[in-house]
Chains A and B, each alone.
Chain A
Amino acid sequence: MPATFVRIERPDRPPPLPRQVSWHARANAIALVWALLAVCAAASAGPLGLPSWLPVHLFLLGTVTNAIITWTEHFTVALLRLPATSDRHQGVRLAVLNTGVVVLVVGATAALTPFAVVGAVALLGVVVVHTLALARASRGALAGRFAHIGAWYTAAGASFVLGAALGTMMLFDAAGPEVQQRSLAAHVHLNLWGWVGLAVIGSLFTLWPTILRTRIVEGAGMVARRALVPVLVGLVAGAVGLATGMRWVALAGIVVYAAGVLVCLVPLVRTGLRKRPTGAAAWSVAASLVWLLAALVVDVHTLAVHAPHEVHAVLQPLLPLFLVGFTGQVLLGSLTYLLPVVLGGGPRAVKANTALLGRGWPVRLATLNLGLPLTLAPDPWGTAAWALVLASAATFVLLAAVAVLRAWEVTASPGLVGTGLGAALTALALVFALGVPTDEESAVTPTGRTSTVDVALGDMVVEPGTVTVDPGDALVLEVTNEDAQPHDLRMENGTRTPVLAPGESATLEVGVVDGPLRGWCSVMGHRASGMEMTVTTTGDDLPLAEHGEDAGHGEHGTDSAGLTGERLDLSGEFTRGWEPVDAELDPAPDTDEHEVEIRVSESEQEVAPGVRRPVWTFGDTAPGPVLRGRVGDVFDVTLINDGTIGHSIDFHAGSLAPDEPMRTIAPGEELTYRFTADKAGAWLYHCSTAPMSHHLANGMYGAVIIDPPDLAEVDREYVLVQGELYPGEPGDAEQTARIHAGLPQGWMFNGAAMGYDHAPLAARVDERVRVWVVTAGPVGGTSFHVVGSRFDTVYKEGAYLLRPEDDGGSQTLDLGTAQGGFVETTFPEAGHYPFVDHDLRHAEGGAHGHFEVEEP
């Protein structure tokens, strides 16, 4: 391969490239392959369900980092007249770099954190070696007119090391959401403003006049030398401020950085005014600088009005614009100029390649720069604009590839080309064979019905974990981000929500569902941490889903095939030291203003003999604390969410607009719920965060007892809150299916199945005993009965059905889901009197206990 020249303007004479540049061509070919992959990933991100960070990192780590490493080395060596590093050295460096990128990208995509970390470390290592080499080389160089260039590249490399180290740490996903968001913002700032920005600006001092075929204006060298320190200090301060949450430090730092960059742009613009840009290379670089300016303005504004942890979420939608508009375009412009030069082949070949790379450039330039702002428009315009922009970028990549291949025809072995062609064709065939088809041929006929389901994105959880629809139904998900950090929801069929900031909602039209479909959050690491959901159709392999049909009609499906053997074994003993929730009810405190603090927590509880389950609780136990008062009392409740997902509270005993007091609060937040209990009764309270059935099924309920004004004195008072027990972890697929099917695994009084068989309630002969009963569900009610006794007083839902002076008696207190009342009885003689829910499935499934009645 013939030696070629990069004609970088010099006062004396153009510096000859000190050696063959074949490896430049090779490195550029690699960068082009990455660019093509990035374009493909961006274009297919929807249909293949790839995460949105993939094209970004393919482009930045593949294309841009390869280009920066190659060209910064090249410019330093050429401009400072240094001896060249050996080709082999460079080859090894690029090989390690690109292997690192592949391993990192594959590792992070497949959630194999160790792989990703190894890749990231390899990448970091290459940049460190490269930066140190540049720093050492340029320190030794004569302080000439271009002495600044080594310093700029060293600064760029240092920024990358900091930024990439932050990025690597984020692979572990260990920090809290706010820290994570701040680190992310710092990571993005260091890499884009530092690694990309500093390398580009450092190069432009010489490259820009070269492209314009003129000299840079006087004084540019001084600007380049003096501006670097404030620019770098500003950037580092900005990043530190973002990472640590020091808002004003971050803002001040980035303002200093922006001001420094503006100062650097002045000589560049003056040069451009003196010699008007002509041709593809010059105009692309000029356009990229406009995007740079716009990005600086937007960034400074964002930092000024948003807290550091919000910065990334605000900027994220705009990032692709910056990546394509500035980074992509400056690279495009530079390569348009540089590629023909390094490909060489004599003046004719250079001219031909320049013409090839410039083919249709005014149209491409206009499409890219006009299309980019339009990508922010709502679909279908946004998607159409992206298609145009990506097509414009892909055209350049293909033209450049043609130029590279053309130049290689002289040397490239036909064997290599043939192998590459064959491999590419095979890869295409594999993609076609294994790709997820876009929903063109549905196996089922659409029913025309639409199911709408609320989906909550929480802290590493999607609720509900399973959604079941009839085959052929169109599914619409109302997705709300209830977490403190951004999430999105992406379905396997390619439909997805935008990234939702905390509290934001979006409607996701999933389309006609004809089979199981997975969904997940595509923010890096979140899927691996459990942010997944499944849409199943009735009749799918999931046996429980079939019972969903029966849910509305009662529980007649119990013990049908598929569920046998899943009943709890209730014959065992509770763990030593276990104590039941105290059923004894104290009289109402002597106050008419009750101050109550309830903390939501997540813990474990022994819910049946020897069976511990995770529970969500009000005040550490399921059910939560009993509140008791008299008619007219005011309850001032402070709810504090110590859990890891959003929760709320709903007191049936009060009457008010639910909007504020019943709102869901994020972990760490608290709210005040003030109600006046102006009606007597046995009331339920519960968590009302969607899906409510999950929160109730996992223990978030309790009772409020408001005494009727004429309530008689009795000897003993007990309260029993009846709830249901579901298998599995809160929110997992099995539990969700069981809840939807209305098939609890057990029934509990006060949070333990068979609990009061092991810790009986005490009474004495002839004592008057009052039992308050409240049903929490979430599915069923009760038919409360005390074996061996009759009730002479029955109070249900605010009214007496029976009083002692009446002639009749009562055998059970029947309560629907979420109702309450009390019964009174006396025991005629000593003995063991079982109390049960007389729906005997429930009694045998745990809604069972007994009174131990002794002689007075």
Chain B
Amino acid sequence: MEEAVWAGVRFLHVLSAMLWVGGQLTVSLVVMPLARRTLEGEHRSTVLRAIGKRFGSLTAGFFLPVQLGTGIALAWGAGVTWASLLEPGYGRVLAAKLVLFCVVMVAATLHGATTRTRPRLARTMAMTSLVTSVGVVLLATLLPRI
């Protein structure tokens, strides 16, 4: 029974990460180019802003709480302590992943905050967030091997 619970927690963690990274990829690689090609001026910015807003609220309302909750639970279950985060191997990979995750959050926040005022910075931050998220996934795949 306990195994099943842990599997469920892990599933939620992976699912939520998948939605977040996959969502970003979809927006950047599919939605944005199409929107830029097919939609005109005012209309385009309205649509894009709406997409951004919805993705933002999904992040704050679902992704972030689930990710933090399941992440902390998994770490607790694996017996991770603050001290163990600095140990070479699993600890350091996890620590790097957490720091990179914080970077993703900072970049995403900056993206949201500058969309209107500094569109170029906002786009830069969107790409930073996307690539760094993939980096987090990369580090996650390294975890079990170490």
Q: Which residues of A contact B (CB under 8 A)?
A: 414-419, 421-423, 425-426, 429-430, 432-434, 436-437, 441
Contact = CB atoms under 8 A, between A and B. Distances in A.
A414 B96 contact: no
Given A414-B124, A419-B127, A426 B134 contact: yes
Interface string B103-146: 10001000000000000111111111111101100110010000
A432 B92 CA distance: 7
B135 A425 contact: yes
Contacts of A433: 92-93, 95-97, 139, 142
Contacts of B31: none
B86 A422 contact: no
Interface string B83-94: 000111000110
A414 B125 CA distance: 8
A425 B127 contact: no
A415 B119 CA distance: 12
- For the complex of A and B, list the 8 residue pairs with the smallest distance between their C-beta atoms, beginning with the closest: A418-B127, A422-B131, A426-B135, A433-B96, A414-B123, A414-B124, A418-B124, A429-B96
A416 B120 CA distance: 11
B72 interface: no
29 contacts: A417-B124, A417-B127, A418-B124, A418-B125, A418-B127, A418-B128, A418-B130, A418-B131, A419-B128, A419-B131, A422-B107, A422-B128, A422-B130, A422-B131, A422-B132, A422-B134, A422-B135, A423-B131, A425-B128, A426-B131, A429-B139, A430-B135, A432-B95, A433-B93, A433-B95, A433-B97, A433-B142, A436-B88, A437-B88
Given A414-B121, A417-B127, A421-B124, 9 more contacts: A414-B122, A418-B125, A418-B126, A418-B130, A425-B135, A426-B132, A429-B97, A434-B142, A441-B87
Nearest to B98: A429
Given A414-B127, A422-B127, A430 B132 contact: no
Nearest to A423: B131
A426 B128 contact: no
B71 to A, nearest CB: 16
Secondary structure class of chain B's binding surface, majority of residues: helix
A415 B131 CA distance: 10
A432 B127 contact: no
Interface of B: 86-88, 92-93, 95-97, 99-100, 103, 107, 120-132, 134-135, 138-139, 142
A416 B93 CA distance: 27
A425 B106 CA distance: 13
Contacts of A430: 96, 135, 138-139
Contact of B132 (A414, A417, A425, A434): A425
Contacts of B142: 433-434
B139 A415 contact: no
Contacts of B87: 441
Contacts of A441: 86-87
Nearest to B122: A414
A426 B138 contact: yes
Nearest to A437: B88
Contact of B127 (A415, A426, A434, A436): A415
A238 to B, nearest CB: 49
A429 B121 contact: no
Nearest to A433: B96
Scoring A417, A419, A426, A433 by chain B CB atoms within 10 A of each residue's CB, the highest score goes to A433
A429 B99 contact: yes
Contacts of B103: 425
Contacts of A434: 92-93, 142
Contacts of A426: 100, 131-132, 134-135, 138
A298 B128 CA distance: 50
B139 to A, nearest CB: 6
A429 B127 contact: no
Given A433-B93, A433-B139, A441-B87, A422 B129 contact: yes
Contacts of A417: 124, 127
A326 to B, nearest CB: 39
A402 to B, nearest CB: 16
Contacts of B127: 414-419, 421-422
Contacts of A415: 123-124, 127
A421 B100 CA distance: 12
Nearest to B99: A429
Contacts of A436: 88
Scoring B99, B125, B129, B131 by chain A CB atoms within 10 A of each residue's CB, the highest score goes to B131
Contacts of B128: 418-419, 421-422, 425
Contacts of B129: 418, 422
B109 to A, nearest CB: 15
A423 B131 CA distance: 6
A403 B138 CA distance: 32
Nearest to A416: B127
A433 B143 CA distance: 10
A430 B103 CA distance: 14
A621 B87 CA distance: 53
Contacts of B93: 433-434
Contacts of B138: 426, 430
A414 B127 CA distance: 8
Scoring A414, A415, A430, A437 by chain B CB atoms within 10 A of each residue's CB, the highest score goes to A414
A431 B9 CA distance: 29
A640 B3 CA distance: 71
Contacts of B132: 422, 425-426
A415 B128 CA distance: 8
Contacts of A422: 107, 127-132, 134-135
A425 B124 contact: no
B120 A414 contact: yes
Contacts of A421: 124, 127-128, 131
A425 B95 CA distance: 14
B131 A432 contact: no
A415 B142 CA distance: 27
A186 B138 CA distance: 45
Contacts of A437: 88, 92
Scoring A419, A425, A429 by chain B CB atoms within 10 A of each residue's CB, the highest score goes to A429
A530 to B, nearest CB: 28
Nearest to B92: A433
A525 to B, nearest CB: 29
B43 to A, nearest CB: 22
Contacts of B122: 414
A441 B92 CA distance: 13
Nearest to A417: B124
Contacts of B100: 425-426, 429
A432 B107 CA distance: 20
Nearest to B103: A425
A434 B88 CA distance: 8
Scoring B95, B132, B138 by chain A CB atoms within 10 A of each residue's CB, the highest score goes to B132
Contacts of B99: 429, 432
A419 B28 CA distance: 12
Contacts of B121: 414
A415 B120 CA distance: 9
Nearest to A409: B120
A698 B37 CA distance: 77
A415 B124 CA distance: 5
A430 B99 CA distance: 11
Nearest to A426: B135
Scoring A417, A422, A423 by chain B CB atoms within 10 A of each residue's CB, the highest score goes to A422
Contacts of B107: 422
A417 B107 CA distance: 13
A508 B86 CA distance: 28
B86 A429 contact: no
A415 B28 CA distance: 10
A436 B135 CA distance: 20
A521 to B, nearest CB: 25
A429 B103 CA distance: 10
A314 to B, nearest CB: 39
Contacts of A432: 92, 95-96, 99
B62 to A, nearest CB: 23
B93 to A, nearest CB: 4
